[in-house]
Structure 1
């Protein structure tokens, strides 16, 4: 099977995008895993664009382990840019399993997406018991064997936990990530972020993504981090979240809805033979 597809990324968080609006490709889990494998095509997530009766398209997201992902902020921004170039519309509305995502195309490969209102109740994360989501008291250990206890849980279309630490480089996220992702509190697993508050306007992060592992950037993690920081009184309603390759600007509006602004890459046309 030959599939025409696109490759895009947001700050290195990369995607293979397959347009299913005119031709349906029925891919099984093994084929999805193969496409995401770095020894084949390689990406953090595979995205299907699907037809909708509503404006503009439906999106389906798959993690590199073949599991379904409810939301993907950077992926949504990439597809919004792609469709904007197709139909010359500066406002793109995309539908996901977690709701409607509206994007504004700001030009110069800059896209802002409204992610929506975050959820912070234990059953909305979801957790498997009624716990204080502001501080889950989960223990992580740094490279010097020093304990840090904390973790704020937020759902922004998928479940996240954010640990605010003195230095994100002091922790081995490759070890901590899978342990916390699979913690007994999270029946649907979770994304794991280590965050260092540099100032009221800047937070530096590293992210372990549920079903994908270490990632160069993660849009929903940026949103979750900004919300968690605001809940804990560490930042105001607007803050930049810095990844290895650049920043996403996150703002929380008067309705408590999150807006995420940042760059997307140029669009690369690829062909997949699977």
Structure 2
């Protein structure tokens, strides 16, 4: 991967890590390349306030190998394209996602690509092809926010919107809206400690792979 301006799920994990390691209290703020993010930790649930979304564009056409696609885009800290589909499980997400990620319309930086389908009025299911990872991921926080906001813009549903990710987990997106402007955006979901590890000083002291392979 490579450095990104912002990662929604990474921000939530960082907040819980900071709290568990007594770096910060239950309420904190930290800086990202996209701006200041606020976080609130409640046991394993973490709620973050994202920077204000920008560059909302709705209902434009993208030419792809499978024909023209109607899409929308929004920047929720990083750029996202959002595409509604009828059957999300049948999408060839690697092929189509990669093509849109590198589409000339979004050059040179590229974009993340999200597909969503409604489950009911305030619930959607998404799949995300992530720029940098260059593959589908199990969840994308900023992608969940982007999809929820585009869906809300289209259907005029009220906050919050619940988002099911590829992993089967749920994220909640809270927002305020007026016409086509969204603000006070929050992302909430669990952030669990999976394992703890420790890197030895011997590993840190290797100055390069070349020295390692030479046995220095």
Same fold flag (TM > 0.5): yes
Larger radius of gyration: 2
Tell me what 1:43 maps to: none
**1:268 to 2:190 alignment:** no
**1:197 to 2:118 alignment:** yes
Query: Do the aligned residues in 2 keep the contact of 1:118 with 1:227 (CA within 8 Å)?
Result: no
Per-residue CA deviation, residues 205-249 of structure 1 (Å, 9 max, x unaligned), is: 100001112100000000001111112126323110101331000
Q: Secondary structure at the match of 1:70?
A: coil
- Number of residue pairs aligned between Structure 1 and Structure 2: 193
Structure 2 runs not aligned, ≥5 long: 207-216
Tell me what 1:40 maps to: none
**1:241 to 2:163 alignment:** yes
Structure 2 residue aligned with 1:95, among 2, 6, 31? 31
CA distance in 2, matches of 1:226, 1:252: 9
Task: Report the Cα offset of residue 110 of structure 1.
Answer: 0.6
Q: Secondary structure at the match of 1:71?
A: coil
Q: Secondary structure at the match of 1:203?
A: strand
**1:110 to 2:45 alignment:** yes
**C-alpha RMSD over aligned residues:** 1.9
Structure 2 residue aligned with 1:183, among 103, 118, 123? 103
Query: Do the aligned residues in 2 keep the contact of 1:249 with 1:261 (CA within 8 Å)?
Result: yes
Task: Report the Cα offset of residue 139 of structure 1.
Answer: 4.1
Per-residue CA deviation, residues 80-106 of structure 1 (Å, 9 max, x unaligned), is: 001011226110211011110000001
CA distance in 2, matches of 1:96, 1:82: 16
Q: Secondary structure at the match of 2:192?
A: coil
CA distance in 2, matches of 1:172, 1:271: 39
CA distance in 2, matches of 1:91, 1:220: 20
Tell me what 2:151 maps to: 229
Structure 1 runs not aligned, ≥5 long: 1-63, 122-132
Normalising to structure 2: TM-score of the pair? Answer: 0.83
CA distance in 2, matches of 1:198, 1:148: 25
Query: Do the aligned residues in 1 keep the contact of 2:145 with 2:187 (CA within 8 Å)?
Result: yes
Normalising to structure 1: TM-score of the pair? Answer: 0.66
CA distance in 2, matches of 1:195, 1:245: 14
Matches within 5 A, 1:55-134: 64=1, 67-87=2-22, 89-107=25-43, 109-120=44-55, 133-134=57-58
Alpha-carbon spacing, 1:166–1:140, altered in 2? closer, same or farther (3 Å): farther
Matches within 5 A, 1:25-40: none
Alpha-carbon spacing, 1:161–1:242, altered in 2? closer, same or farther (3 Å): same
Structure 2 residue aligned with 1:215, among 137, 149, 153? 137
RCO comparison, higher one (Cα < 8 Å, 6+): 1
